[in-house]
Copies of this chain bind each other. A is one copy, B any other.
Amino acid sequence: MPDPTSRAVREGNYNVDPGVQFWATPPVHGCLVDEVIHPAAYTFKLPDNLSFAEGALIEPFSVGMYAATKAGIKPGDVAAVVGAGTIGIMTAIAARAGGASTVFISDVLPQKLALLDGLEGIVTVDATKEDLGERVRAETGGWGPQVVFEATGAAPAYKKLWEMPAPGGRIVLVGMPVDPVPFDIATAQSRGISLETVFRYANVYQKAIDLAATDGVDLSRFVSETFAFDDSVQAFERFLEGRPTDVKIQIAL
């Protein structure tokens, strides 16, 4: 929750308000309590055709939605996503539903890419066998993707990132690397690239719900397992296993 009178809020960027409180980030411990009081302005109603499980996925989907919004996708643009973790997957789905004709997404773990099997307009690229940039250029007459999302935050992913977008294209930095990464500015300049950074999200929750409620977006497939409330400890233990194919673990009430 941002401070509603701060300058960042007035300018429409409440996510970067230095005074924002996030209910999952220290010093706030999350919402595992019986009752919470939350401002109506930042509370949203789920439509009837979305389950609570899908509702729980609206939060990570909103990060993807915010990334897709900042990308400034034009209808029919070709997009590329580096990394098929939860955020990469959510970004790919948001980019496709948000106007991209095709989204190419790569990962080094084939089982993560398999989570996207059968989704129309999403092409998976096994990064251990194929270079994402080369693949997209091959399928776009050498031009490349107008929009590239970096969703790993892993140092090696940045090596070929700066040359990937089409001339005049855009890189959206979603992954959050712990340390600074080498930035090949000269390459980015020669292609006239712009870059956007993503930090949580702002003004996309309602739109995330609206898109999630369409047939084109099916978040339910990413609920990896549902635990009964009495098995909550098991749910957290499962989360700590860090299975590569786990996107969201739900605890049903």
Tell me the A residues contacting B by CB distance below 8 Å: 4-18, 39-41, 65, 68-70, 73-78, 94-95, 97-99, 101-102, 120-121, 143, 153, 158, 167-168, 173, 175-178, 180-186, 188-199, 202-204, 206-208, 210-211, 213-216
Contacts and interface: CB of A to CB of B under 8 A. Distances in A.
B210 A76 contact: yes
A186 B182 contact: no
A188 B173 contact: yes
Given A97-B99, A194-B196, 13 more contacts: A7-B41, A8-B168, A12-B13, A16-B168, A68-B75, A69-B74, A75-B98, A75-B207, A76-B204, A102-B210, A120-B216, A178-B186, A181-B185
A9 B197 CA distance: 22
Given A4-B4, A16-B192, A76 B167 contact: no
A185 to B, nearest CB: 5
A173 B206 CA distance: 26
A189 to B, nearest CB: 4
Count this chain's copies in the assembly. 4
Contacts of A76: 65, 97-98, 204, 206-208, 210-211
Contact of A120 (B10, B153, B180, B215): B215
Contacts of A197: 185, 188-189, 191-194
A14 B197 CA distance: 25
Given A99-B99, A167-B18, A182 B185 contact: no
A183 B181 contact: yes
Contact of A213 (B74, B101, B185): B101
